[in-house]
Amino acid sequence: MIAVNGRYLLKTRISGVERYAQEVIKRIGETLPLTLLTPKKRSTAYEHFWEQCLLPLSLKDRPLLFNPCNLAPVLYSRNVVVLHDIIPLVYPEFYSFGFRSYYGFLLPLIAQRAIHIVTVSKFSKQEIIRCLGICEKKISVVYSGVSQRFHPNQVLPPKYNFDRPYILYTGSLEPRKDVGTLVRAFDFARKNGHLQDHCLIVAGNPHKNFSQLDFSPESTNDIFFLGYVDDHDLPALYANAELFVYPSLYEGFGLPVLEAMASGTVPLVSDSSSLVEIVRRKDLRFPPGNYKMLAQRICDLIADPLAYQQLRQECLQFSSQFSWSETARNTAKILTGIV
């Protein structure tokens, strides 16, 4: 029997990590006997206490415990943990003192004590080795998948009544995502006479630091901040976008990029971290933080519909190689090899 740390089920808003857990656990459960364990109430403090104290105490028969969302009970000796990234250790300045202190203390201990670590990209594996000194043989790379919900030719819900082509970003608005570079690129392009009939759609949770950005008067009315977008609306938002831009400075995988590609939307991403494993064409990447280069990439793609269609087909073909079934199958092999 394999026990599963089901703390992720209490999340009311789904990020890439929770999506991974939902998709993978559902499929592994179709082939392996799993016992899903969850906290009894939704509270950050209680969830931490449950995960570190109550959860390991409840595992009387010492089963293998699969932890799909970065954290695991440090004092339990039979953990397999999925470390999607170690961003709080690499960029602690992007997080609150409490968050970076908690993760900074726990992540090294979790990694050292785990029986095995699964991570979602070759880049993340090398970062875990570099920063935590973990033996390479203890880490397996299993790429994330993409749901069949993400595909082209979807109807945009009426509540998103955009009256013109749009460039899309989805994800949180934390500093690491560097959405400011995208906003500046859009603003720069418009000041130079481009993208006059386009708007920029930013979908994601707000962050206090994002209010520090400056917008020129001529662009303000063409940038729309949607806030958190319901998970059910994402496929249509992707599929109807003209371009998807992901300027993140550091990613463990970059699931939104893969979802955009599966939706038939060409992505532009920063030339950084794991993103180069997903977007392999150099002409679809730009130097991190370089808003002028990003503006040029956007304008070049929009100006050449024939090249865009060729890129679109390449993206669809590439993304079809990724599936949650394959992710679950490879992860199940690792778990059964340890049990």
- Average pLDDT in the 274-295 region? 96
Q: What is the pLDDT of residue 90?
A: 94
Contact predicate 257/278, CB 8 Å: yes
Contact predicate 66/4, CB 8 Å: yes
> What's the CA gap between 132 and 85, in Å, rounded?
12
- Residue 222 contacts by C-beta under 8 Å, 6 or more apart in sequence? 186, 190, 198, 199, 200
Burial 83-116, CB ≥16 within 10 A → b, else e: bbbbbbbeeeebbeeeebeebeebbbebbebbeb
CATH number for the domain whose boundaries are 2-145+323-338: 3.40.50.2000
Q: Strands 34-37, 243-246: parallel, antiparallel or unpaired by DSSP?
A: unpaired
Q: What is the pLDDT of residue 94?
A: 84
> What's the CA gap between 230 and 4, in Å, rounded?
26
Pick the closest to residue 71 from 106, 45, 39, 42 (CA basis).
Answer: 106
> What are the tens digits of pLDDT across the range 221-255?
799 999 889 889 999 999 999 999 999 999 999 99
Classified as helix, coil or strand, 228 is coil
> What are the tens digits of pLDDT across the range 44-82?
999 999 999 999 999 998 999 999 999 999 999 999 999
Pick the closest to residue 66 from 50, 54, 78, 84 (CA basis).
Answer: 78
Pick the closest to residue 272 from 293, 255, 286 (CA basis).
Answer: 286
Residue 167 to residues 10, 173, 322, 339, Cα–Cα distance (Å):
32, 16, 24, 47
Same fold, 2-145+323-338 and 166-319: yes
> Which single residue is written with the structure tokens 């130097």?
287
Could you tell me the pTM of the whole model?
0.92
Q: What is the pLDDT of residue 161?
A: 83
- CATH fold of 166-319: Rossmann fold (3.40.50)
> What's the CA gap between 45 and 311, in Å, rounded?
46
Contact predicate 238/265, CB 8 Å: yes
Q: What is the pLDDT of residue 339?
A: 64
> What's the CA gap between 271 and 309, in Å, rounded?
22
> What's the CA gap between 71 and 50, in Å, rounded?
12
> What's the CA gap between 249 and 224, in Å, rounded?
22
> What are the tens digits of pLDDT across the range 178-224?
999 999 999 999 999 999 999 999 998 876 544 445 545 455 679 99
Q: What is the pLDDT of residue 16?
A: 87
Q: What is the pLDDT of residue 208?
A: 54
| Positions of E strands within the chain | 2-5, 34-37, 64-67, 79-82, 116-119, 139-141, 166-170, 199-203, 223-227, 243-246, 267-270, 285-286
- 3-state secondary structure labels for all residues of 26-74: HHHCCCCCEEEECCCCCCHHHHHHHHHHHHHHHCCCCCEEEECCCCCCC
- Average pLDDT over the chain, rounded to an integer: 93
Residue 55 structure tokens: 């959860």
> What's the CA gap between 191 and 217, in Å, rounded?
11
Rg (C-alpha) for the chain, rounded Å, is: 21
> What's the CA gap between 69 and 7, in Å, rounded?
9
Q: What is the pLDDT of residue 211?
A: 46
Contact predicate 126/90, CB 8 Å: no
> What are the tens digits of pLDDT across the range 120-178?
999 999 999 999 999 999 999 999 999 999 999 899 999 998 889 999 999 988 889 99
Domain ranges of the chain: 2-145+323-338, 166-319
- What is the distance of C-alpha 261 from the center of its chain? 14
